[in-house]
């Protein structure tokens, strides 16, 4: 059995970041723990923090499991992640600006042309458009895993509409309500500045045709979307309008919002609608979620769309392999955070290795998300591996494979006490006039013993993430 790095315990001793949590855990009787857990669930339900899983029956307003045991980072650990995440966000945006313009990185042979031009996330309609400040991906969610005291790896990048930030904010709010004493005893960096930082970022990328204070809206697919709570939550905290496609229209060189006081011009759209649905005149003609003519206004510089259509070409799992090369090519720097070693199944020799070692590897669809379309070899049956092998052989270019990392564990409250469970981290990097990162992020936890899948759609939960102040 592999030995997993326990973020709290080192050889039986409590590691310094968790020094004040050892006594807290041991002194909490089971009755109080169950009471607090029930209180947390009641708060989540009352506030409305729920999510839906498409294609499933049952409760459409399912609570995401919340674990009360926080995950803790030192200031030094966070500084390294902060530098690495910002570096990666700069390189990803430079790549997007390049491939929608002169594509110098392709001409230089540093990334294969087919991974860009044949990528389903590449949008030819965006070619030649330079958005304000050259920013394509304004909210970059970087998924990070840890395997040791100094070992952090980027698992994947999310450059389109990364979700989950509402859980980061509400996890903190609920922890402060449940255990105010912990926050008096520990100096913890705040995360509640995120909504204002997001608004500031979006305002900083207002289009040239904006005169005065930018009008910002959040474009949602509507209440049936699994992340609708987050859309409305952020709109409320930012003090901006939450709109659906039917609330907007194009007239002249601008986008307008219908209001009870008449049309109001819109300058920046933080869209939570997929590329294919944002403009039926440019993308899917049957879409009822977007705004007809939106892309014409975008091309003319009359509105900013955050993140830009076509940003997904940078977070494809096959393109992910080349992000360290992007950092070297565009920034002239060495990567601060490393990629997980990755095999590209579209390459014959690498496919052979993957097929020979399927029981040991994690195999993912290059466009997959949410824990779907993947094989976790060590946790799969021979029958599951055989079925996945057929899919892999039939379309190898659609998959990448990675070793099964020995992910770190964090103490987690379980039915009979406290036990280690595997975790990952998604910080949210804001890119506009400047790059900002609140100290923390969304820690997701695999609640099933031994499981490495942390996605909420696959039974994972969430934790509050602490960065200790100096």
CATH class of 341-403: alpha beta
Confidence of residue 219 (pLDDT cuts 50, 70, 90): very high
- Cα separation, 353 vs 343, in Å, equals 8
Q: Look at strands 248-251 and 254-257 and give their pairing.
A: antiparallel
Share of the chain above pLDDT 70, in %: 94
Give, to the nearest 10 degrees, the angle between helix 382-394 and helix 348-356.
Answer: 170
- Cα separation, 141 vs 135, in Å, equals 15
**How confident is the model at residue 54, as a pLDDT?**
46
In 272-428, alpha helices (H):
294-299, 323-326, 348-356, 382-394
**How confident is the model at residue 133, as a pLDDT?**
94
Average pLDDT (122-147) is 96
* Mean pLDDT, all residues of the chain: 92
**How confident is the model at residue 57, as a pLDDT?**
46
Q: Look at strands 62-63 and 66-73 and give their pairing.
A: unpaired
CB under 8 Å to 312, separation ≥6 — which residues?
Answer: 121, 159, 160, 275
pTM of the prediction? 0.93
Using DSSP's 3-state secondary structure scheme, residue 114 falls into: helix
Specify the residue for token string 């039986």.
12
Residue 344 structure tokens: 């590209």
pLDDT in tens, 236-260: 999 999 999 999 999 999 999 999 8
Whole-angstrom CA distances from 214 to 241, 244, 253, 269, 309 are 12, 19, 16, 10, 20
Whole-angstrom CA distances from 243 to 253, 291, 438 are 20, 11, 26
- Cα separation, 429 vs 94, in Å, equals 15
**How confident is the model at residue 44, as a pLDDT?**
84
pLDDT in tens, 10-48: 888 899 999 989 888 888 888 998 899 999 988 888 877
pLDDT in tens, 61-86: 667 889 999 999 999 999 999 999 99
CB under 8 Å to 325, separation ≥6 — which residues?
Answer: 105, 110, 111
* Residue 20 burial (CB count, 10 A): 14
Tell me, what DSSP letter sits at residue 417?
Answer: E
- Cα separation, 6 vs 14, in Å, equals 10
- Cα separation, 246 vs 263, in Å, equals 13
**Vertex 212 angle, CA 209 and 218, to 5°:** 75
pLDDT in tens, 356-389: 999 999 999 887 665 567 888 888 899 999 999 9
**How confident is the model at residue 2, as a pLDDT?**
62
Checking if the pLDDT of 456 tops 80, the result is no
- Cα separation, 330 vs 54, in Å, equals 39
Checking if the pLDDT of 234 tops 50, the result is yes
Whole-angstrom CA distances from 45 to 35, 38, 39, 220, 457 are 15, 11, 10, 22, 18
**How confident is the model at residue 358, as a pLDDT?**
94
**How confident is the model at residue 470, as a pLDDT?**
80
Listed range (135-139, 187-191, 202-206, 381-385) with the worst mean pLDDT: 381-385
Confidence of residue 60 (pLDDT cuts 50, 70, 90): low
pLDDT in tens, 266-311: 999 999 999 999 999 999 999 999 999 999 999 999 999 999 999 9
Buried b (16+ CB within 10 A) or exposed e, 212-221: eebbbbbbbb
**How confident is the model at residue 58, as a pLDDT?**
45
CA-based torsion, 294, 296, 300, 305: positive or negative:
positive
Contact criterion met (CB below 8 Å) for 247 and 269: no
Query: Helix-strand-coil percent breakdown of the chain, rounded to 5?
Result: 35, 25, 40
Confidence of residue 56 (pLDDT cuts 50, 70, 90): very low
Domain ranges of the chain: 9-108+132-189+328-336+413-467, 341-403
Confidence of residue 353 (pLDDT cuts 50, 70, 90): very high
Average pLDDT (92-109) is 98
Whether the link from the prior residue into 251 is cis, omega within 30° of 0, is no
Average pLDDT (440-450) is 91
Q: What are phi and psi of 9, to 5 degrees?
A: -110, 135
């Amino acid at each position: 059995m592999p030995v997993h790095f326990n973020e709290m315990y080192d050889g039986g001793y409590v590691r310094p970041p968790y020094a004040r949590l050892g006594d807290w855990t041991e002194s909490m009787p089971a009755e109080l723990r169950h009471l607090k857990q029930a209180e947390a669930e009641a708060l989540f339900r009352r506030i409305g923090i729920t999510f839906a899983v498409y294609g499933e029956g049952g409760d459409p307003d399912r609570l995401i499991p919340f674990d009360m045991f926080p995950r803790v980072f030192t200031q030094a650990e966070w500084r390294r992640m902060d530098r690495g995440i910002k570096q990666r966000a700069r390189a990803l945006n430079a790549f997007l600006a390049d491939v929608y313009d002169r594509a110098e990185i392709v001409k230089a042979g540093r990334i294969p042309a087919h991974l860009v031009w044949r990528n389903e996330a590449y949008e030819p309609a965006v070619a030649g458009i330079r958005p304000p400040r050259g920013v394509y991906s304004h909210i970059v969610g970087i998924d990070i895993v840890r395997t040791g005291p100094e070992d952090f790896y980027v698992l994947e990048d999310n450059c389109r509409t990364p979700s989950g930030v509402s859980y980061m904010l509400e996890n903190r709010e609920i922890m402060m309500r449940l255990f105010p004493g912990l926050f008096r005893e520990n100096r913890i960096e705040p995360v509640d500045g995120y909504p204002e930082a997001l608004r500031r970022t979006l305002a900083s990328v207002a289009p040239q045709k904006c005169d005065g204070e930018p009008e910002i809206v959040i474009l949602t697919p509507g209440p049936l979307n699994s992340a609708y709570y987050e859309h409305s939550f952020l709109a409320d905290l930012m003090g901006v309008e939450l709109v659906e496609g039917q609330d907007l229209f194009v007239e002249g060189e601008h986008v307008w919002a219908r209001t009870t006081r008449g049309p109001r011009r819109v300058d920046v759209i933080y869209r939570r609608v997929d590329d294919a649905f944002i403009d039926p005149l440019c993308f899917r003609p049957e879409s009822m979620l977007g705004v007809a003519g939106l892309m014409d206004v975008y091309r003319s510089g009359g509105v900013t769309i955050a993140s830009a259509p076509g940003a997904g070409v940078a977070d494809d799992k096959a393109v992910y392999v080349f992000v360290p090369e992007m950092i070297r090519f565009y920034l002239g720097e060495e990567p601060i955070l490393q990629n997980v070693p990755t095999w590209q199944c579209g390459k014959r020799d690498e496919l052979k290795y993957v097929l020979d070692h399927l029981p040991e590897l994690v195999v993912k669809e290059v466009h997959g998300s949410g824990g779907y379309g993947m094989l976790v070899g060590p946790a799969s049956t021979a029958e599951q591996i055989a079925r996945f092998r057929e899919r892999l052989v039939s379309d190898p270019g659609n998959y990448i494979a990675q070793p099964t990392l020995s992910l770190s564990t964090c103490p987690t409250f379980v039915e009979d006490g406290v036990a280690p469970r595997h975790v990952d981290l998604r910080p949210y990097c804001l890119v506009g006039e400047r790059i900002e990162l609140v100290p923390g992020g969304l820690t997701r936890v695999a609640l099933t013993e031994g499981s490495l899948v942390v996605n909420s759609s696959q039974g994972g939960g969430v934790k509050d993430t602490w960065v200790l102040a100096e």
